Amino acid sequence: MRVRFKMDGGLVYIPERSEPVTLDTDDLPEEEAEELERLIEAAGFFGLPETSPPPRGAADGFRYTISVTSSGRSHTVHLADPIEDTNIQALVEYLEAKAR
Amino acid sequence: MRKQPGHRHSIFCILPPHVLREIARTGAEEERQAALDTLAADSTFRTLRAIRQAAPVATASPATVTLAAVAGTGDAKQLQRTIFDCDHTRRLPGETVRTEGAQAADIPAVDEAFDGLGATYDFYWETLRRNSIDDQGMPLNGHVHYGNRYNNAFWDGQRMIFGDGDGVLFNRFTIAIDIMGHELTHGVTEKEAQLIYQDQSGALNESMSDVFGSLVKQYQNDNQAAEDADWLIGEGIWVDPDRGGALRSMKDPGTAFEGDQQPGHMNDYLNTIDDNGGVHINSGIPNKAFYLAATEMGGYAGAKAGPIWYAALRDPRLKPDASFVQFARLTVINAEILFPGGQEQQIVQDAWTEVGVDIRV
């Protein structure tokens, strides 16, 4: 499974913060690979709508683009702060920590 | 209908603002113009009343006008703050930890957010006679300890949300009062002009938040004079001072931190896909224009430049997709309305020219 994670937006624009990060479960330690796969699964990732826009009037929030390729299928999702679903929150927090 | 002398559209004068705005949007051409004229006059008069109440000295004088503390003008303050603790999760709203009238929580993030919301409310009330974000006493809610080492603060359309920073890149976001003023001003902008958060209108939206966020800070510093202010947004946010001193500089865009890409002139306008078309980047240009106008006028920027920008923000001719030029034009027009015959109009025009925004009024 390959996961590409890119952040955008935020109160201040910092170029390196916008650089995408790619994780490949083949390259991760087994525990981490399982954790990532579990998070993707729990978030119902492949069933998520492609775009979830931020609420009306929102500003300075982060936007997240997550692309996952796994077992021949591929899906990209665009999310924005504040994320409401706790499972998606967990996935984003995990990926954001990796990107730091 | 008999026309009263001095009133071109007397029947429009008795209509409340929200009805006038609707007519301005949807009426026949003549009706639309009448509604727009009335709204423009009404906005201006409300702002003028605020200025005159606070500074009885004639505003036509080019001398520095310092706003005195307003006393006995009738208190319509409706400050109602609530702070919530998200406990390092992204779950909202979180637990209520401080309410209006309650004593301090002795938790920095909580008390700073509480104080910052209050300072922003007070600034808008004292300087511009605006009663909270919606001018109708809207409750102010702040949510702190959002997320796990979350390097950001934002406005979600209804409330302010603050991260703690990761302690490597950033400190907690409640540490800078102008950040709180910045976020709340997004609510004001959304209420007034709905500037679309993309490209130039988005950069204007961002700039509005930096302008009024800075004014909150200067108001807190006892109506600090523009020439004495630092014009930095988010001072103290960076953990490593070598990385940066602030998030943005209005005085010198592009110098706030290592990697700051803000331009200070249209020649350096950044066309990008990132950041909604660079809304936090290109805001440097209108930011600089405000800084130039305010320092040229001198004294507390909330006396003249602030009200001019505020009048332009509330001008019904300011459209959600406004460009820099369109907004600039409205600041010049409103400078003349607020300070007829004064130097302010030329100062504003010169400021925009200096950042490369060409106005032909």
Q: DSSP 3-state assignment of A65?
A: strand
Residue A53: cis peptide before it, omega within 30 degrees of 0: no
**What residues of B are annotated to the active site?**
183, 280
Q: Is A53 on the interface with B (CB under 8 A)?
A: no
Give per-residue pLDDT as tens, B93-143: 999 999 999 999 999 999 999 999 999 999 999 999 999 999 999 999 999
pLDDT tens per residue, range B71-100 = 223 345 799 999 999 999 999 999 999 999
Instruction: Encode pLDDT of B283-292 as tens digits.
Output: 999 999 999 9
Which residues, 6+ apart, have CB-to-CB distance to B6 below 8 Å?
none
The Cα of A85 is separated from the nearest Cα of chain B by a number of Å equal to: 9
Q: Topology of B193-354 in CATH?
A: Neutral Protease; domain 2 (1.10.390)
Facing residue for B92 by CB, picked from A11, A15, A82:
A82
> How far is B282 from B264, CA to CA, in rounded Å?
8
Considering only the beta carbons, identify the residue of B90, B173, B261 that sits closest to A89: B90
Name every residue in B having a CB less than 8 A away from some CB of A.
Answer: 89-92, 147-149, 151-158, 161, 166, 168-169, 173, 179, 182-183, 186-187, 190, 194, 197, 205-206, 209, 234, 247-248, 257, 259, 261, 274-276, 278, 280-281
| Cα B346 to chain centroid, rounded | 22
From residue B52, give the alpha-carbon distance in Å to each of B55, B69, B140: 5, 12, 28
- Asked if B152 and A11 come within 8 Å (Cβ–Cβ), the reply is yes
Which CATH fold topology does B81-191 show?
A: Elastase; domain 1 (3.10.170)
Query: Please, which pLDDT band fits residue B56 given cuts at 50, 70 and 90?
Result: very low
B237 or B26, which is more confident?
B237
H-helix segments, chain A: 30-42, 86-99
B91, B133, B156, B238, best to mutate vs chain A, most A CBs in 10 Å: B156
**pTM (whole model) above 0.90:** no
**What's the pLDDT at B6?**
40
